[in-house]
Amino acid sequence: MTHTHSDRLIRSSRRNPCPVCKRTKDADCAFSPDRARVICHHPRTDLIARVSQVGEYTFWKNTSDHRAAVFLLDEFERRQW
Ligand SMILES: [Zn+2]
């Protein structure tokens, strides 16, 4: 488990568009300060967990309440090797 201070999340905003869906109109998406981990407001049923890509991001899973989708930057995954 990697729990660090970087677990503090940035919310989407005009200054900080969501890296996955480019949301800027409100703060419904959130992501880690290094943008390696994104909690996007749109849960995805069209994507395959840990396989499907959106841009540089891998769709990881929907949250357990199915209200958001978790994406990880490819780079982040590669660092685990
Ligand atoms: Zn988003």
Q: What is the pLDDT of residue 8?
A: 87
CA distance 28 to 49: 21
Any domain includes 5: no
Query: Ligand 1 mean position to 3 CA, how many Å?
Result: 22
pLDDT tens per residue across span 16-64? 999 999 999 999 999 999 999 999 999 999 999 999 999 999 999 999 9
Alpha carbon distances (Å) from 34 to 6, 19, 20, 76: 8, 11, 14, 10
Any domain includes 47: yes
Any domain includes 57: yes
What is the chain's alpha carbon radius of gyration, rounded to the nearest angstrom?
12
Any domain includes 68: yes
Any domain includes 25: no
What pTM value is reported for the model? Answer: 0.82
Any domain includes 76: yes
Any domain includes 24: no
Query: Ligand 1 mean position to 71 CA, how many Å?
Result: 9
Any domain includes 4: no
Query: Ligand 1 mean position to 73 CA, how many Å?
Result: 13
Domain count, the chain: 1
Enclosing domain of residue 81: 32-81
Query: Ligand 1 mean position to 43 CA, how many Å?
Result: 9
